[in-house]
Chains A and B, each alone.
Chain A
Amino acid sequence: MSTIQASNVSDGTTTVGTSYVVNGSAKAWANINGTGTITARDSLNVSSLVDAATGGYNYNFTNNMDNTGFITTTSAFRDNDAYTGVFYNDQLTSQTSTRHYNRGTTTRADVDTVYIVVHGDLA
């Protein structure tokens, strides 16, 4: 495997520091089905999912994050309708979690599609 070492990346007109590219890349992502026996449709850097309760899913990282300052972006759907998804920060570097609710309520609901994307620093 070859490694290109460079401080900047340029297309001839616009130049950007490679640190922007490295730091701005997603470090983990997943697309899961949260109904029935939950499963991952596809993912990167996720070792396992945990079905924690109705509308509650945890995602364990294979390569942990460096600190708990990372962020998770999530969205969710059920029956082609949007459901509220929130990132639940449990202060762990090895895991992120999402919780999903019926719209306009505090009642948790299972959703058939959850997307998560994680940004931050890797361990």
Chain B
Amino acid sequence: MTQHLWDRLAEAKSRLKPVQSKYRVLFEDPREPDAPAKVLVPDPNWMACALAGGVLPPIETYQHDRSVPDGQPKEHPYAEPIGPLTEEQAVEYLVQKDIDPAVWRDYQGNRTILKIVPVELIPTDRSFRNAWRVVQ
């Protein structure tokens, strides 16, 4: 029987060294046109799990679970873990897992609303944080 995902995460945390990703995902939500751009930051412990393999479930299980009502059994905690990913594959996995499909799959407008960028391109000066947009 496959170990529960949370147990695998707890075990991996005691074994794996955190990995700070060199990437960030900059995105805008088309359902909130007045909101500033958001920045997704991969968690270092999660990235260590992704690179090591044997911990995270297939991305398809999260997508399936989006349609499962609260309180009903979900697939992702009990799915067989996937093997190691490259850092680039891991960021693509996170885009599909942690960003709404309205941004990365369904948007049909002309603006570029999602970019995977090196961390150096994210401003460290937050004076005008609420005016950030994705550069076209």
A: residues with CB less than 8 A from B are: 1, 27, 30, 35-40, 42-54, 60, 62-64, 66-68, 93-95, 110, 122-123
A36 is contacted by which of B49, B73, B74, B124 (Cβ under 8 Å)? B124
Q: B39 on the interface (CB 8 Å rule)?
A: yes
Contacts A60-B97, A63-B76 given; does A48 touch B41 at CB 8 Å: yes
Could you tell me the distance between the alpha carbons of A115 and B24 in the complex, rounded to whole angstroms? 22
A43 touching B40 by the CB < 8 A rule? no
Question: Given the known A-B contacts A43-B43, A53-B130, A64-B74, are A37 and B94 also in contact in the complex, defined by CB atoms under 8 Å?
Answer: no
B77 and A123 within 8 A (CB):
yes
The DSSP consensus for interface residues of chain B is: mixed
Which residues of chain B come closer than 8 Å to A53, judged between CB atoms? Answer: 35-36, 38, 129-130
Query: How many residues belonging to B are interface residues under a CB distance threshold of 8 Å?
Result: 42
Q: Does B33 contact A (CB under 8 A)?
A: no
CB pair B94 A47 closer than 8 Å: yes
Nearest A residue (CB) for B93: A47
Asked if A42 meets B76 with Cβ closer than 8 Å, knowing A27-B6, A37-B122, A60-B98, the reply is: no
User: Counting chain B CB atoms within 10 Å of each CB, which of A44, A51, A54, A94 scores highest?
Assistant: A51
Question: How far apart are the CA atoms of A54 and B37 in the complex, in Å?
Answer: 11
| With A37-B122, A49-B43, A122-B77 as contacts: A63 and B5 at CB distance below 8 Å | yes
- Interface positions of B from 34 to 73, Cβ below 8 Å from A: 35-36, 38-46, 49, 56, 62, 65, 70-71, 73
The distance in angstroms between the C-alpha atoms of A53 and B129, with both chains bound, is: 6
Residue of A nearest to B125 (CB): A36
In the complex the two chains form, what is the Cα distance from A66 to B4 in whole Å? 14
